[in-house]
Structure 1
Amino acid sequence: MSIDRLPSPIATGPTPDAPRLDASGLDASGPARPGTPPSATVDLVRRSWALVEPQTEELTRLFYGLLFGRMPETRSLFPVNMQVQRGRLLRALVHVVQLVDRPDELEPFLDQLGRDHRKFDVADAHYDVLGGALVDAVARFSGAAWTPQIEGAWRHAYRIAADRMRTAAAAERGPASWTGVVLEHRRIGWDLAIVRVQTDTPIPYRAGQYLSVETPHRPRLWRYLSPAGPPRPDGVLEFHVRAVEGGWVSRAVVAHTTPGETWRIGPPMGRLSIESASGDGLLLIAGGTGVAPVRAIVERLVEQGATRPTTLFTGGRTTADLYDLPHLRTLGRRNAWLDVVPVIEKIDEHGILDDHRTLETGAEIGTLADVVSRYGAWRDHDVIVCGSPAMVRATVGRLLVAGTPLDRIRYDPFTLD
């Protein structure tokens, strides 16, 4: 099964089971509630999305134009430069479309979005106007293929998603965001920095989750960062930040962050936490700064007195990317249940020990996808994959081919600028 699987092109004929519209254009097929939309709705939404997907950049531009034109006050919720925000909308929309008939996966994602959007002071009216702008933008790019049945399907699916987000936001009693002061900024390479931040009160995240961060250098631009350790009573968080190409926030964090500046931090997100220190084997795969949430999981297991056998693959292009390997190996020496396997893609000046390992680090040679699959199918392991989208995609694909059950693999979709 491909994690990038998309539906086939649209079928334009009428569908009798599609939701009907009332005179106002809203879904009149009955009250929306969390759960699975009718199969006809799911099919129409997916097929119509496949039709407009090649034009997503232009579609998102139109969407924001419609939104800001209809509700100008929403413009202040977004950054001056909309390039990053447009990309995030696209990724979120694709994720919802792909999961619209899988509520067990979609509902936790919508709950997170609803809680997270509290930091923007999003009101009910914003959801309604946003939904109208989204449907109208998709309709504009669908052209003659757009039908009342397709419109009804989109409005019905959006209503289910929006109601789920509203409910999650209304039920949340914690802060909408936290304030943190930078204690330390340490560069360990031209494109990588370790940043330690202390929040006003501890954030109740679980090891493996990530947080959205706003810095004074990029107002209203939020970047997802994973703490590199479990929660601490003093509220101190450690972030590993790589300056990625085109990354407005990450590049500013690495180059310009100074101790004493104030960050704003959103509520925890993500589903990669491990709740039990015992059970089946655990396979952790971390590429680059994806080592941060993986390290947090391992340290949490240490706190719990873990007994489950755990294998941790940490990888990068060169030995310089294995910046956290000394700390991970210390954890491995102190805990017999933890096996740490370093991986690099390129051979550098440190030379080769044999066909599969480098002299300097004893690292396996190859991509993480290559190396992990050499060890077998990992059928009896819970698997967590952290890293760039390309690395996650390649690794999950190879695991599936090797025979790892899909329901044993977990990863988070939105972790970059």
Structure 2
Amino acid sequence: MDSTTISLVRTTFKAVAAVDDGPEKLTRSFYGILFAQNPEAREFFPAAMDVQRDRLVQAIAYVIDKLENPESILPFLAQLGRDHRKYGVEDAHYVAVGNALITALKNFAGSEIWTEEVDFAWREAIALIASTMMDAANSETGPRAWIGTVVEHKQVLRDVAVVRLQLDKPMQYGAGQYVSVSVPGRPRMWRYLSPAIPANDQGQIEFHVRRVSGGWVSPAMVGQTNLGDTWAIGSPLGALGVDRTTERDMLMIGSGTGIAPLRAQVMEMAMRGNNPRVHLFVAGTYPCDLYDIETLWQLSQTNPWLTVIPVSAEDTNPWWHFDPIPTPPPGMYQRITGKVGQVVAEFGSWADRDIQIVGSASMIQTTKFRLQAKGTPVESIRHDPLF
């Protein structure tokens, strides 16, 4: 796609998004058109569409923002195409989705904005997106989805659970990637989780799940999961991982259950003989939110390339948590009290590091801004899409 086409697509979408309730109206119109013209497509989506509508706008915005960077967006779209196989999506559905989106945008934008040039630009963009996803899906030979049986469910905090599953077939994923997950009782409500252990030939997988207040799915995962339950798991997504093509040392920053993909990476690194130096900041609101710190300390004790720095915004635990605060082994960093972004930035710019940040969207953005203010090049910072 040339720069003029990308500019027309981006400008049109920004104009729609800038209108009061524009994104919500656009997605309602899109799904209304899609389901009216293709009633069979409704079965791919959950009964409650609120989260799905938000994700559509966020996903479109993310793709549009990356259109001039094909080396990053095309692999992402290919992964998304492979993941969409879990729905039973066929080529005709991509065509239907593209036509419905163009119709919704055209109706919403009006004739003054929606010119022939804009129409052509959007059709070219959607053709690129759809063809990339279709080609990846059609070339995939693995299962549409994996079925995992819950073999252990451990509630490590009142709002956090560690869930271990046995997959029906081993899944090959890169440590640091994430997958979509659907659980019993919440049909077609897929949520993204990162495996907390590396891929293995035994088909074992582990997730760390935090209950989101008011959420549809995470409360069921944390509080209503039973041994023997079966979860459906989609194809791996994401690009976090150790870049073995460079010799750069690494800075990893994980907050709450965001530690899971970083944990998987350092566990995988521990199986190798040669690794870059890694500083891993483990953060939470309270000391108890560092629920897996002792595992990471053990890894650090046997792997001198790994340095673990615990950080909590509060110095003491909340009233409802009675377990004692773990004491670091000799030679380990004592826990630092403060906001993780500020704490990391106080160590310096980390300009020579390959940096990964995992956590909530606000934590990621705040930490990025803190590092950039210290002189960290933005191209050195990686995180998954914020949707």
What residue number does 1:169 align with? 137
Displacement of 1:278 after TM fit? 8.1
- Matched letter for residue 51 of structure 2: V
User: Following superposition, which runs of at least 4 residues in structure 1 exceed 6 angstroms of deviation?
Assistant: 358-361
Q: 1:135, 1:154 within 8 Å by CA — same for their partners in 2? A: yes
SS of 1:377 mapped into structure 2? coil
Displacement of 1:251 after TM fit? 1.3
SS of 2:270 mapped into structure 1? helix
1: CA distance, partners of 2:77 / 2:152: 34
1:382 to 346, 350, 354: 354
So what's the TM-score if we normalise by structure 1? 0.86
What residue number does 2:90 align with? 123
More displaced 10-residue stretch of structure 1: 288-297 or 245-254: 245-254
What residue number does 2:244 align with? 276
2: CA distance, partners of 1:169 / 1:359: 47
What residue number does 2:254 align with? 286
Query: Percent identity of the aligned residues?
Result: 44
So what's the TM-score if we normalise by structure 2? 0.92
1:102 to 58, 69, 73: 69
Q: 1:277, 1:304 within 8 Å by CA — same for their partners in 2? A: no
Q: 2:194, 2:261 within 8 Å by CA — same for their partners in 1? A: yes
Residue 216 of structure 2 is aligned to residue 223 of structure 1: no
1:311-390 correspondence runs (5 A): 311-348=279-316, 362-390=334-362
SS of 2:311 mapped into structure 1? strand
Displacement of 1:310 after TM fit? 0.8
CA deviation profile, 1:326-351 (whole Å, cap 9, x unmatched) = 1111111111111100111123269x
Residue 15 of structure 2 is aligned to residue 47 of structure 1: no
For structure 2, list consecutive stretches of 5 or more residues without a partner in the other structure: 319-324, 329-333
1: CA distance, partners of 2:137 / 2:30: 24
Q: 1:278, 1:308 within 8 Å by CA — same for their partners in 2? A: no
- Matched letter for residue 91 of structure 1: Q
2: CA distance, partners of 1:115 / 1:246: 30
Q: 2:286, 2:317 within 8 Å by CA — same for their partners in 1? A: no
1: CA distance, partners of 2:326 / 2:265: 29
Q: 2:287, 2:317 within 8 Å by CA — same for their partners in 1? A: no
CA deviation profile, 1:346-379 (whole Å, cap 9, x unmatched) = 23269xxxxxxx9966321222210111111111
What residue number does 1:187 align with? 155
1:57-96 correspondence runs (5 A): 57-96=24-63
Displacement of 1:277 after TM fit? 10
CA spacing shift, 1:269–1:229, aligned 2, 3 Å: same
2: CA distance, partners of 1:290 / 1:366: 18
2: CA distance, partners of 1:239 / 1:112: 20
SS of 1:296 mapped into structure 2? helix
1: CA distance, partners of 2:123 / 2:214: 34
CA deviation profile, 1:281-314 (whole Å, cap 9, x unmatched) = 1111101101000000000100112432110001
Displacement of 1:174 after TM fit? 1.4
Q: 1:280, 1:380 within 8 Å by CA — same for their partners in 2? A: yes
What residue number does 2:122 align with? 154
Report the RMSD for the aligned CA atoms in angstroms.
Answer: 1.7
CA spacing shift, 1:114–1:405, aligned 2, 3 Å: same
SS of 1:231 mapped into structure 2? coil
- Matched letter for residue 374 of structure 2: A
2: CA distance, partners of 1:149 / 1:297: 46
Residue 381 of structure 2 is aligned to residue 409 of structure 1: yes
- Matched letter for residue 247 of structure 1: G
Q: 1:277, 1:307 within 8 Å by CA — same for their partners in 2? A: no
Q: 1:186, 1:195 within 8 Å by CA — same for their partners in 2? A: yes
Q: 2:254, 2:281 within 8 Å by CA — same for their partners in 1? A: yes
1: CA distance, partners of 2:225 / 2:305: 38
What residue number does 1:112 align with? 79
CA deviation profile, 1:83-102 (whole Å, cap 9, x unmatched) = 11111111111101111111
- Matched letter for residue 205 of structure 1: Y
For structure 1, list consecutive stretches of 5 or more residues without a partner in the other structure: 1-36, 351-357
2: CA distance, partners of 1:97 / 1:232: 35
- Matched letter for residue 24 of structure 2: E
CA spacing shift, 1:307–1:38, aligned 2, 3 Å: closer
SS of 1:312 mapped into structure 2? strand
What residue number does 2:168 align with? 200
SS of 1:303 mapped into structure 2? coil
Alignment: residue pair count: 372
CA deviation profile, 1:184-225 (whole Å, cap 9, x unmatched) = 111122211110001011100111111111111211111111
- Matched letter for residue 393 of structure 1: Q
Q: 1:383, 1:410 within 8 Å by CA — same for their partners in 2? A: yes
Residue 23 of structure 2 is aligned to residue 56 of structure 1: yes
1: CA distance, partners of 2:63 / 2:213: 26
What residue number does 2:113 align with? 145
CA deviation profile, 1:137-164 (whole Å, cap 9, x unmatched) = 1122212322221111111111111111
- Matched letter for residue 412 of structure 1: D
Displacement of 1:397 after TM fit? 2.0
